[in-house]
Amino acid sequence: MSTYLYRLGRTAFGHPWFFIAGWFAALAVVAGGVAINGVSVSSEMKIDGTEAQTVLDRVATELPEASGGQASVVFTAGEGQRLDTPERLDTISSTVNQVYALDQVVAPPPVAAGAPQGASTGGQEPGQPEAGAGAGAGGADEDRGEVPPYQPLVVDGKPVPGVLVSSDGEVALFQFQFTVATQSLTDEDVTAVLEVLQDAESAGTGITALPSDSLKALEIPVGIGEVIGLVVAAIVLVLTLGSLLAAGLPLITALVGVGIGVGGAYGLSTMVTMNSATPVLGLMVGLAVGIDYALFVVNRQRRLILDRGLSAGEAASRAVGTAGSAVFFAGLTVITALTALSVIGISMLTTMALVAATTVALAVLIALSLLPALLGLVGERICSAKARDRRQVKVEAQAHSVADHWVKGVIRFRWPVIGGVIAILGLAAIPAASMELGIPTGATANQDTAARQSYEAVTRGFGEGFNGPLLVTAEPTGSSGAVTPQVTAQLIDQLQQRDDIVLAAPVGASETGDLVVLSVIPASGPSDEATIDLVAALREPDSALAQQNQVTLGVTGYTAIHIDMAEKLASVLPLYIGIIVALSILILMLVFRSVIVPIKATVGFLLSILATFGVTTAVFQWGWLSGLFGFDTGGPLMSFMPIIVTGILYGLAMDYQVFLVSSMRESYVHGSHGARSVVHGFDQASRVVVAAAVIMISVFSGFIFSHDIMIKQIGFALAAGILIDAFFVRMTLVPAVMAIVDDKAWWLPRWLDRLLPELDVEGDKLTALLNQRPATEQAPTQDVKV
C-alpha cells in the first residue's frame, strides 16, 4: 500500500496540473448539475415500515384528497384581550379567506353552524389528512355535561371555516390543508401564506398571527458559527504548521471536497428524497476530516524536509506513502461505520450516511492526489529558510517537550491514570441512563420563537393535546366488510369516554367503507408518557374497543410517527454498534496486526460514547448550560441523533487511534520496545493529533449555534465526543494501557498472521525499496527510513 501511494504522490507532485484540472473539473460539473437540476430538500422525517407510516400511506392511497400537508395559524391579541371585536373578527375572516384563495390551499368544505372544520391543530405534519372536518367542535364535552373549552368562530352569524376560538375569546386557531404534501411545497407557496399573515398583523387591530412549524420557508441551517469554526481551524493550522502557505492547503482541499460532496448531494436531491439536514451533515463531517487528513500529510512532509533534509518532492512522495496509508485506513474506518447504517434498513438514515461517507471518501482521495499536486506547485516554499534554521533548535529540545513530559507522567502513574479516566467518564455517562428520545416540539423551542408562542397559545386556549393530535383508522374485522356509520358513531362515543382523550371526530371514509379515519385529541401533550401509552392502548388488537366494534384500529399522525421513530431507532442502536464494532475490529487488526490494540480501541470508544451521551443529555434534556449554547428549554434528544453520532464518532475516534498508535507501532518496528516505543511514537504524533482534534472540535462547535435543533444537537455531541475521546481516551488512556501491555500489544497468533495480508502501513517495504535505489537517485539524506 505505502509503495503504491508513494508512486501516486510522486506522480501528482511531478504533474500537478493534470490532477488539479481533474478535481476542479469535477467541481465544475457538480456546480453545473446543481444549477440545472435545482435543489429539493425538506424537513420531513419518516421511517418506512413503522406502523404509523404504514397506516399513513394507506390513508394517502384510500383518501388522496385528504393527503395534503397540514398547517395552522394561531391568532392572539395580547394577554387579557379578546378577539371578538368587530375589527379583529373582520381581520381574521379576511385573512382566512385570503389563505383559502391561494392556489396550493384546499378550499374549505361547506360548514353548517355549530359544526366547524378544524378540530385538530397544526401539530400535524406532512401527509396527515385534515382532522375534525364536519365534526362538532365541542360536542363530546357537551354530551358529558361539561362546558366546551372552545367553539366555532362566528362572524355575521356564520362560522368561519377551519377556525376555532377559545372559550375566553383570547385565542383563535385556524387550520387548513395544502393540495400537496408539505415537502413538495415551494418557498413561494409558503411565502405567499406568510405574506397574508404579515398583512393581518399590519392591519392595525393588534392581532398577532403565529404560524406553525410547517409554515417556515426553507433555510440553510448554517451561519456565522460555522465561519468562526473555520477561522479557529485556520489559526490552529498556522500554529501547527508554522506557515500561512502550508496552513492554506488543508483548507483548500477540504473546501474542494465538501464542494463536490455536498454539491453532489444537492444535485441529486431532485431525484432522491433528502432531508435538509443531510447535506449539512456531509458538510460538517467533510470539513472536519478533509482538514485533518490533509494536515497529517502536510505535517509529515514538513517533518521529512526539516528533520531529514529531503527535497520537497521526495518528502511529499514519502508523506503520501506513509501518512497517506494511515489516512487511507482511517478514512476506511469512518466510511465503514457510516455505510453500516444502511444495514439497519431505514432509508432516511441510509441517505444521510451515504452522503457523509461520500464526503469522507472524497477527503481521502483528495488528500492522496490533489494535495500532493498542490504541494508540487508550492515546491520548496512549503518550508522557509527560517523554518529550517529554527527546526534544528526544536529537534534538540524535543526530549523536553510538553508531550514528552505528559506521556512519561502518564506511563509513570499508569494505574491511577487509568482509574481516574474511567471514573471521570463513568461519572459523565450517568445522565445517559435517563436519556429520552423523540422529536422536539414547540414546547421545547426558544421562548422568543413563533413555534413556542404558538404552542403555548394553543395549550392555553384549547389544551396541550391539541398540539399533538392523533389520526386513528378503523378497518372491519367482521363479515360485513365495512365500517358502518352506526359503528363509527359508537366508536367515536367510546373513544370520547376515555379519560385520556378530549375529543374524537370523523375525518372521512373510503367509498367502500373499509377504511374510516378519525381525529383524536389526547388529554396530554405530544411528548408526554401518557400520550405514548394512549397510542399503544389504541393499537392493542384485543382491546375492548376493537373487539366490541369488530374493527382493527391503526394510529398515525405527526405524534404517532415520531413515537414509532424513537422506538425503532432505540431498538436498532445496539445492533448497529455491534456491526460497526465487528467490522472496525477487523480493519484495525489488519492495520496493526494485533489482537489487543483493536479490542483496547473499541473499549475506549465505548467509554467515550457513553460519556458523550451523558453530557449531551445533561445539556439538551436537563438544560444545563443551555443559555451558553443558544437555547432556553430542555427537551428530548432527536431520536436519530444517537445512532448518527455513534457512527460518525466511532469512525473519527479510530482516526486518532490509527494516527497515534501507528506511530507507536512504527517506533516498535524500527527497533524501540516497551515504554520507549510508546514515548517515541507519542512524541512524534501527539502534536498533530492534538491539532487535528482541536480543528474537529472547532468545526463541529460552529454548528452548535445553528437555529436547527437537529444540527445543534449533532454538532454538540460530535464536539463533546471528540474532546472526550481525543484527550481523555487516546492521549491519556491509550499510552497508559500500552505501557502496561508492553510489547504484547503487538502479539498476533501465527495462524492469524499467515491469514492476514501485509498492508505495510509503517512503510517498511517502501523503505527497503528506496534503499535499493542507486545513491545518485536518492534524495539528500543519510537515513532513508520514513
Instruction: For 91-109, write each residue's pLDDT tens digit.
Output: 999 999 999 999 888 887 6
At residue 44, the pLDDT reads 64
Mean pLDDT of 671-685: 85
Query: Pick from 317, 313, 312: which is nearest to 384 by CA?
Result: 312
- Residues 555-566: pLDDT tens digits? 988 788 888 888
Question: In this structure, are residues 484 and 37 in contact, taking their beta carbons and an 8 Å threshold?
Answer: no
Q: What is the mean pLDDT of residues 595-613?
A: 91
Average pLDDT rounded to a whole number, residues 45-60: 80
Q: Which of 250, 268, 335 lies closest to 699 in space, CA to CA?
A: 250
Give the pLDDT band (50/70/90) at residue 223: low
Q: What is the pLDDT, as a whole number, of residue 132?
A: 35
C-alpha 409: how far from chain center: 38
pTM of structure = 0.82
Task: Kindly tell me the burial class for residue 740, based on how many C-beta atoms sit within 10 Å of its own C-beta (0-12, 13-18, 19 or more).
Answer: middle
If you average pLDDT over residues 586-604, what whole number do you get? 86
356-375: pLDDT as tens digits: 999 999 999 999 999 999 99
pLDDT, residue 459, reads: 87
Chain-centroid distance of CA 358 in Å reads: 15
Question: Do 737 and 418 meet the contact criterion of CB atoms below 8 Å apart?
Answer: yes
How many CB atoms sit inside 10 A of residue 307's CB? 17
Q: Which residue has better confidence, 481 or 664? A: 664
Confidence label for 177 from pLDDT (cuts 50, 70 and 90): confident
Q: What is the mean pLDDT of residues 709-727?
A: 91
Give the CA distances from residue 760 to residues 1, 4, 11, 302, 673, in Å, rounded to whole numbers and listed in that order.
6, 11, 20, 22, 19
Helix axes 16-37, 2-14, angle to 10 degrees: 90
Q: How far apart are CA 502 and CA 507, in angstroms?
A: 16
Q: Residue 221 — very low, low, confident or very high, per pLDDT cuts 50/70/90?
A: low
Task: Note the maximum CA span of the chain.
Answer: 103
